[in-house]
């Protein structure tokens, strides 16, 4: 798939078939992720991968409980409370694969670098016909010390991008985009 086509056709995918995501596919996506630019080429990222649908759902249930117990009271996320409270709302969308993009340092621009790696990973997934969805709602739980200990992640790493992957039941239609606000500077 051409780059612009992948950019135009990428969608947040939240419904997946029963097909697993192969380890080799995830390795290819991570290969694409680490081609992202990073400040001073520090490459301050690491990746944690889980390929077990049931375990992902279980972790998602706990992330959801943590979220509901600490739900933001203000800002755009606050408006999602009713949606997330629905017992049928599954945080990780029953995906067969979960990738956590981790910042390995607290350098000032490590988060930005990890976001670029995450974006590369999602575009590469689109190129392979794999659906991806960034699950920001899981981030507070993922960054708890207890979660990192349980998952065997170094405690000083920060989870920047929890991303679920799977084979889409269908590619969702675009939500469209607002016209960009552009300031042509003189």
Contact residues for ligand FMN, defined by CB under 6 A: 11-12, 14, 133-137, 175
Q: Residue number with the shortest CB distance to ligand FMN?
A: 136
Which residue number, 11 or 148, has a Cβ lying nearer to ligand FMN?
11
DSSP conformational letter for 12: B
| Minimum separation from the CB atom of position 49 to ligand FMN (A) | 19
| Minimum separation from the CB atom of position 9 to ligand FMN (A) | 10
User: Residue 116 — left, alpha, or beta (φ > 0 → left; ψ -120 to 50 → alpha)?
Assistant: alpha
Which residue number, 14 or 167, has a Cβ lying nearer to ligand FMN?
14
DSSP conformational letter for 74: S
| Minimum separation from the CB atom of position 175 to ligand FMN (A) | 5
Q: In the chain, where does DSSP find H-type helix?
A: 3-9, 23-33, 53-69, 81-85, 110-128, 139-142, 145-151
- Name the residue with tokens 């995830």: 26
Question: CB–CB of 12/172 below 8 Å?
Answer: yes
User: Is the CA virtual torsion 82, 171, 162, 180 positive or negative?
Assistant: negative
Q: Chain centroid to CA 171: how far?
A: 17
| Minimum separation from the CB atom of position 54 to ligand FMN (A) | 19
Which residue number, 99 or 135, has a Cβ lying nearer to ligand FMN?
135
Which residue number, 44 or 168, has a Cβ lying nearer to ligand FMN?
168
Which residue number, 11 or 66, has a Cβ lying nearer to ligand FMN?
11
């Amino acid at each position: 798939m051409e780059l612009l086509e992948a950019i135009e056709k990428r969608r947040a995918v939240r419904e997946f078939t029963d097909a697993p995501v192969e380890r080799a596919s995830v390795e290819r996506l991570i290969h694409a992720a680490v081609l992202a630019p990073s400040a001073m080429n520090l490459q301050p990222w690491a990746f944690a991968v889980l390929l077990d649908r049931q375990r992902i759902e279980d972790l998602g249930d706990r992330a959801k409980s943590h979220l509901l117990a600490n739900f933001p009271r203000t800002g755009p996320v606050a408006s999602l409370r009713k949606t997330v409270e629905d017992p049928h709302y599954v945080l990780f969308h029953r995906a067969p694969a979960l990738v956590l993009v981790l910042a390995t340092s607290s350098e000032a621009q490590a988060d930005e670098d990890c976001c670029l790696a995450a974006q590369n990973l999602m575009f590469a997934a689109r190129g392979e016909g794999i659906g991806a969805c960034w699950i920001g709602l899981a981030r507070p739980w993922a960054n708890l010390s207890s979660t990192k200990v349980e998952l065997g992640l170094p405690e000083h790493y920060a989870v920047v991008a929890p991303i679920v992957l799977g084979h889409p039941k269908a590619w969702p239609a675009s939500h469209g985009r607002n016209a960009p606000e552009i300031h042509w500077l003189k």
